[in-house]
């Protein structure tokens, strides 16, 4: 059975698998993730509509030619080997696209393919890779400006380096968790007011941060750097990221070395990694960068992506969500290619499966701010939820849900969601 080389992104493609009209996962997406079905060990899966695709099952049945001799790369719980080779992932997505498209050439294989499809709700999704390192950037100008206004003043909102380099810090990889995993409210030191002594206890200012992250591939050796022209060949795919924050703990501890206990207790990510290839149709120009950046941060072409995002809160005991934020990934000042170029310009090595997050993504209107810190403006403008309750920050029992999808030419490519519920402090 041949696999015609039609682009998997072709908007005319349709699948013989039923895909709801509002699905984030049409045949043009075909993301990758690690999941466990029943008593079987975790392995590599893809998704179309509401069905998950057992990649190892298809490989065992000889339906994925590109996996010949490489099946071990999709039968393990951590998919670092798969993520290390974008060309292999491209072939895998091409083979999947052929098997799933509505084309008479694959009718003979459909009965076998059906045996590898299971309802997605039957899967327990895990982290897609063993994440060795995690970096969080600070790349939304509006977010940086808002925070600067709150803690300094509007005339000094952006610190002197902000317009010259993508500010970032190294986070804690061990506390990154998949969507659906609850976590306990963190504890630490904070100051109730500037003139009081610090106290210890559960954070009173638990916050979310609306972010998009990318996983790296094609690792580099120590001493090597990646230019903006080559950076995207080192980016496997994207996920939604909720980089939870304890604002009061963070405010007290961060001088002079930056975030620590206020950030390292939990970071939630969506389980399906949407390949950079699937997002090609949604490229857009970025903002004019003024002052001009140094040569190693200059780039050509469209490196930003038009991906609308939203955040909702579901209070404890309620089935109703309140959407409190609508933003867009295109609001980044510093794009992923610049982030990776800056990250490695000093010779820092990267490995397949490293996670790098955008930082909070805020637009230029109050309803597009990507954190409670901004939406409720440091607690001075509480948000009203649909059940009549108010929020200055996130309360115990609240579930925060983030979603995002891009849409163009009748094709919708999305991430599903990342959700987590806040449990009381232990």
**Which residues carry out catalysis?**
143
Q: Give the C-alpha separation, 382 to 378, whole Å.
A: 9
SS3 405: strand
CB under 8 Å to 262, separation ≥6 — which residues?
186, 188, 203, 245, 246, 247, 248, 249, 250, 251, 253, 254
- DSSP H/E element including 188: strand 187-190
Q: Give the C-alpha separation, 404 to 22, whole Å.
A: 12
CA-based nearest residue to 183, from 119, 266, 297: 266
Q: Give the C-alpha separation, 300 to 335, whole Å.
A: 12
The DSSP bridge partners found for residue 322 are: 313
Determine contact, residues 185/206, Cβ cutoff 8 Å.
yes
Size of the chain, expressed as the number of residues it contains: 426
CA-based nearest residue to 245, from 226, 230, 265: 265
Question: Which two tokens mark 83?
Answer: 């993520």
């Amino acid at each position: 059975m041949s696999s015609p080389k039609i682009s998997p992104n072709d908007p005319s493609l349709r699948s013989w698998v039923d895909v709801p009209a509002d699905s984030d996962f049409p045949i043009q997406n075909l993301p990758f993730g690690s999941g466990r079905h029943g008593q079987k060990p975790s392995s590599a899966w893809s998704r179309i509509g509401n069905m998950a695709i057992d990649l190892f099952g298809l490989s065992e049945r000889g339906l994925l030619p590109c996996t010949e001799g490489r099946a071990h790369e999709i039968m393990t719980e951590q998919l670092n080997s798969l993520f290390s080779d974008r060309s292999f992932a491209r072939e895998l997505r091409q083979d999947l696209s052929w098997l799933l498209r509505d084309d008479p050439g694959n009718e003979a294989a459909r009965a076998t393919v059906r045996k590898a499809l299971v309802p997605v709700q039957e899967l327990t999704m895990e982290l897609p890779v063993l994440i060795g390192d995690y970096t969080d950037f600070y790349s939304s100008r509006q977010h940086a400006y808002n925070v600067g206004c709150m803690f300094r003043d509007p005339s000094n909102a952006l610190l002197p380096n902000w317009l010259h380099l993508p500010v970032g810090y190294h986070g804690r990889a061990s506390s990154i968790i998949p969507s659906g995993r609850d976590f306990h409210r963190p504890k630490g030191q904070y100051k109730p007011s500037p003139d009081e002594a610090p106290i210890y206890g559960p954070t009173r200012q638990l916050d979310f941060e609306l972010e998009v992250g990318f996983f790296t591939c094609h690792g580099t050796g120590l001493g090597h750097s990646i230019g903006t022209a080559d950076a995207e060949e080192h980016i496997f795919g994207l996920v939604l990221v909720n980089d939870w924050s304890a604002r009061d703990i963070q405010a007290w501890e961060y001088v002079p070395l930056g975030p620590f206990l206020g950030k390292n207790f939990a970071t939630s990510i969506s389980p399906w990694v949407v390949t950079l290839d699937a997002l090609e149709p949604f490229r857009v120009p970025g903002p004019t960068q003024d002052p001009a950046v140094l040569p190693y941060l200059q780039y050509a072409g469209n490196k930003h992506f038009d991906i609308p995002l939203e955040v909702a809160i579901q209070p404890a005991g309620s089935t109703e969500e309140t959407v409190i934020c609508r933003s867009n990934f295109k609001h980044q000042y510093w794009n992923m290619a610049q982030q990776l170029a800056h990250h490695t310009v000093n010779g820092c090595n990267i490995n397949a499966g490293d996670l790098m997050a955008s930082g909070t993504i805020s637009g230029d209107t109050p309803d597009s701010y990507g954190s409670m810190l901004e939406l409720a403006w440091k607690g001075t403008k509480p948000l009203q939820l649909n059940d009549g309750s108010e929020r200055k920050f996130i309360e115990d029992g609240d579930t925060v849900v983030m979603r995002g999808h891009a849409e163009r030419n009748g094709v919708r490519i999305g991430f599903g969601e990342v959700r987590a519920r806040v449990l009381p402090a232990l």
